[in-house]
Chain A
Amino acid sequence: GQSLEQPSEVTAVEGAIVQINCTYQTSGFYGLSWYQQHDGGAPTFLSYNGLDGLEETGRFSSFLSRSDSYGYLLLQELQMKDSASYFCAAHSGGYQKVTFGTGTKLQVIP
């Protein structure tokens, strides 16, 4: 089967850095993507890692280690608007099979 684990909640201070971890058990694994979802909103794509290493997109970076079946999302210079749920999603079976984690609710406090 496919499963992903993420912490359910994380709290961090405005301006700080926070790391959200994701471990996965996925057969035929292709890559890991990350999505942000504000309360009542639709998920929006943040980043994708198909290869090991770090991908950087502005304040957000994502990392993948295939050997450890592990990835993380790094958010820098946290802003209040970053308060949202963050989902990792594992792609397998030729990309199209997508399994989402249960999400991490990030609360940014002043």
Chain B
Amino acid sequence: GAGVSQSPSNKVTEKGKDVELRCDPISGHTALYWYRQSLGQGLEFLIYFQGNSAPDKSGLPSDRFSAERTGGSVSTLTIQRTQQEDSAVYLCASSPRALAVYEQYFGPGTRLTVT
């Protein structure tokens, strides 16, 4: 079956522009996470969606970052007025069960470069 997909795979943008990153989770997975990974670093939690519940936005680094999940499936992470420090790989993960979100399936990521 299809895994988690993300698009675009690479995105180069100029400082100050807005970008949208897309995540298609595995069909039927109720939980969805966004993470950010800088070169050689660990994963930084950004936001968590679980079904129709209000998302946990506690990891978003600033109000320039926002995310939505439509119909409990596809999710979009938007970064407004991008800064060079936003350059990183943005990873999306989904999980099949609310009580087993430790087992996350990751997408290939979107490499964002802000010039």
The residues of A with any CB-CB pair to B shorter than 8 Å are 31, 33, 41-45, 48, 50, 87, 89, 91, 95-103
Contact = CB atoms under 8 A, between A and B. Distances in A.
B106 A91 contact: no
A31 B102 contact: yes
Contact of B106 (A42, A50, A98, A103): A42
Interface residues of B, number: 26
B102 A44 contact: no
Interface string B12-40: 00000000000000000001010100000
B43 A96 contact: no
Nearest to B3: A42
B102 A43 contact: no
Given A96-B31, A96-B56, A87 B106 contact: no
A101 B44 CA distance: 9
B66 interface: no
A91 B42 contact: no
